[in-house]
Amino acid sequence: MRPIKEVIVHCSATRPNWMDGKTASAKVREIKLWHMRDNGWSDIGYHYVIDRDGTVTAGRPLERVGAHTQGRNTGTVGVCLVGGFGSAATDTFEENFTASQDRALRAVIADLQRKYGKLAVSGHNQWAQKACPGFNVPSWHSKKD
């Protein structure tokens, strides 16, 4: 297994009702299509995608380096939250995402930390001039349930 030192959180930049009625797996397939067709990548860039209802779906295998944050993919895990359309880096988590996504993201991070030890947790907006994921990840992560 490759060494993991950080989790980087992203958003799909889709509206809350995007693909309503479709499964989380169908949404992951659609994001994978964007990444492969539009970016020319070999797979979806994220390792996990978290749907609005909190369903966590695997993307790219953890054994493979992701394609989610330019210059920062080695040693990281990319996690994408469905939603975040029109969000700003200064928004709160709750403005763009659901309580189910909050619980699921915290559970994914906790599981990764059990497997790989203490990990840094950051947002894409800390490493690129982007709003993604649409909130301040370190502030969100420091809050307890």
Q: Which residues contact 125 (CB under 8 A, 6 or more apart)?
A: 89, 131, 132, 133, 137
- End-to-end alpha-carbon separation of the chain, Å? 31
Question: What are the backbone dihedrals phi and psi of residue 97, each rounded to the nearest 5 degrees, phi first?
Answer: -135, 165
- Catalytic residue numbers? 10, 46, 124, 130, 132
Q: In what order do the strands lie in the sheet with 56-58?
A: 56-58, 48-50, 76-81, 6-11, 120-123
Residue ranges in 9-82 assigned as alpha helix (H)? 24-33, 39
40: alpha, beta or left? (left if phi > 0; alpha if psi -120 to 50):
left
> What is the C-alpha separation between 110 and 56, in angstroms, rounded?
14
